[in-house]
Structure 1
Amino acid sequence: MSILSELLHDVASLFFPAQCAVCGEPLARGERTVCTLCRATAPLTGFWREADNPVVRRCWGQVPVVQASGFLYFVHRSGWRQLIHSFKYRGAWRTAREMGEWYGRYLRESGLYGDVDCVVPLPLHPFKRCRRGYNQSEYIAEGIARQLGVGVERRSVYRRRNTQSQARKSRRERAGNVEGAFAVRHAERLSGRHVLLVDDVMTTGSTLLSCAAEILRAVPDCRISLAALAVSQRELGVGE
């Protein structure tokens, strides 16, 4: 960074200081999106290092996955919940991409995801995407794909039914709500490939599993792994 650039950065920071998306404190030079303290105390799951983890076990008997993991525990009444809601509902798509890159670095370093061929974001229905303006899972997928050195496949999977919100539904209701909601087109783009399906939040897993099952039904010669940025500790039966 040149002296002029540093000066402009300092002036901009003085009047418009960037804040940590978790705690709200000003970010120091070199920090991005989440401050060093919040990164050090983040509720990380560590699942990406384990071939057998609670997310993989959630898939047993439902969808045959190669790998599956979650990055953070979704902690209610916390700054992490606010961070997720900022890109899910308040337009902070850059935060989603930065979080994807952070997650992607760990996935790459684990060695368990080294043969992934492409990343597929869980699709939004066109009506919901139009209303929101973007699909936050696409930005998470972009960050992960950049770290894994692969491409993002946006056109092969789509949501053909505008489902109701999964919030406040029981596990059985969630599964019924997303049944038949997804479809595959251009199956040849996924044929023979190891696909990493990405979503922002996994609660019961109904949505991710429904989409993964449809991909495998339509493209039986592909392999599939799952990655959720945040997962529910309670639903996975992990002690708090």
Structure 2
Amino acid sequence: MSILSDVRGLFYPSLCPVCGGELPEGGRTVCTLCRMTAPLTRFWEQADNPMMRRLWGHVPVVGAAAFIWYVEGSGWQRLIHAFKYHGQWRLALEMGTWYGACLADSGAFADADALVPVPLHWIRRLGRGYNQSEYLAAGLARALDKPVWTGILRRRRNNPSQTGARTPDRWSNVQDLFALRRPERLAGRHILLVDDVFTTGATLVSCAEAILAAVPDCRISIATLAVSARSLGPDRKG
């Protein structure tokens, strides 16, 4: 480590984005204690998990999983907001890598051909400077040794944010929202749709519907970093 880095670390130590504690030298993403106490769902170890049941009747999927529970007011919510709204995209990449290592160890989504991140509208992407779902997908792909296919999906319009919207509004906000580019690329493939947070599932269902309307023989799985327990209702305990 250079002298400049030593001095920077002395006055501006790296802090855990979850608890705010100082990270040890060489530490990445979150501190050891937060890793050990992370609210993991372990859905990737359950073929019939609450996310799968939440999607029943909406769209056929091969598998679905989230990494952590989304808890409002928690340090994990702050971490997600940091990469989603405050420019800390490296957190999305590193969390995706951690999640991907767990998936790889379990064999989940092993037969997926590629990862497809949920796209932002170009106006929102321009304002944010990046798409956090692409960085999550890149981290997952690093661990799973799979390609990431961007540009497959596009948003037709800059729909209102889903945050804070009532459940009926969430579904109407995303109706016919996505369009597919180069559908022939997905023919006969198994793709893993990647997004940051699963609440009602409306956005992901809209993505899947657009894909299946154009490519009926495409198989779809879903991976999100977090899931809201409240949105899963009585199925949340698995």
- TM-score clears 0.5: yes
Shift of 1:173: 1.4
Bigger shift: residues 35-44 or 212-221: 212-221
Match of residue 43, structure 2, among 40, 44, 47: 47
Bigger shift: residues 213-222 or 49-58: 213-222
Structure 2 partner of 1:71: 67
Do 1:51 and 1:112's aligned partners in 2 also have CA atoms closer than 8 Å?
no
Bigger shift: residues 11-20 or 192-201: 11-20
* TM-score, structure 2 as length reference: 0.95
Query: 1:178-201: per-residue Cα shift (whole Å, max 9, x none)?
Result: 001001011122222110000001
Query: 1:145-167: per-residue Cα shift (whole Å, max 9, x none)?
Result: 11110111001111111111112
Structure 1: gaps spanning 5 or more residues = none
Q: CA RMSD in A?
A: 1.3
SS of the residue corresponding to residue 223 of structure 2 reads: strand
Match of residue 15, structure 2, among 6, 19, 29: 19
Query: Distance between the aligned counterparts of 2:6 and 2:189, measured in 1?
Result: 46
1:136 aligns with 2:136: no
Shift of 1:16: 2.4
Query: Distance between the aligned counterparts of 1:175 and 1:123, measured in 2?
Result: 17
Structure 2 partner of 1:151: 147
SS of the residue corresponding to residue 100 of structure 2 reads: helix
1:215 aligns with 2:211: yes
Query: Distance between the aligned counterparts of 2:32 and 2:7, measured in 1?
Result: 22
Shift of 1:107: 1.1
Structure 2 partner of 1:234: 230
Query: 1:100-124: per-residue Cα shift (whole Å, max 9, x none)?
Result: 0011111111112111110000000
Structure 2 partner of 1:118: 114
Calculate percent identity across the aligned residue pairs.
58
- Provide the aligned length of Structure 1 versus Structure 2: 235
Shift of 1:8: 5.8
Structure 2: gaps spanning 5 or more residues = none
Do 1:19 and 1:33's aligned partners in 2 also have CA atoms closer than 8 Å?
no
Query: Distance between the aligned counterparts of 1:19 and 1:9, measured in 2?
Result: 15
Match of residue 202, structure 1, among 173, 198, 201: 198
Shift of 1:24: 1.1
Query: Distance between the aligned counterparts of 2:129 and 2:3, measured in 1?
Result: 34
Do 1:21 and 1:79's aligned partners in 2 also have CA atoms closer than 8 Å?
yes
Structure 2 partner of 1:106: 102
Shift of 1:30: 3.2
Match of residue 62, structure 1, among 58, 74, 98: 58
SS of the residue corresponding to residue 197 of structure 1 reads: strand
Query: Distance between the aligned counterparts of 2:162 and 2:208, measured in 1?
Result: 17
Do 1:157 and 1:183's aligned partners in 2 also have CA atoms closer than 8 Å?
yes
Letter in 2 for 1:173: D
Do 1:158 and 1:183's aligned partners in 2 also have CA atoms closer than 8 Å?
yes
Letter in 1 for 2:126: C
Structure 2 partner of 1:91: 87
Query: Distance between the aligned counterparts of 2:164 and 2:138, measured in 1?
Result: 30
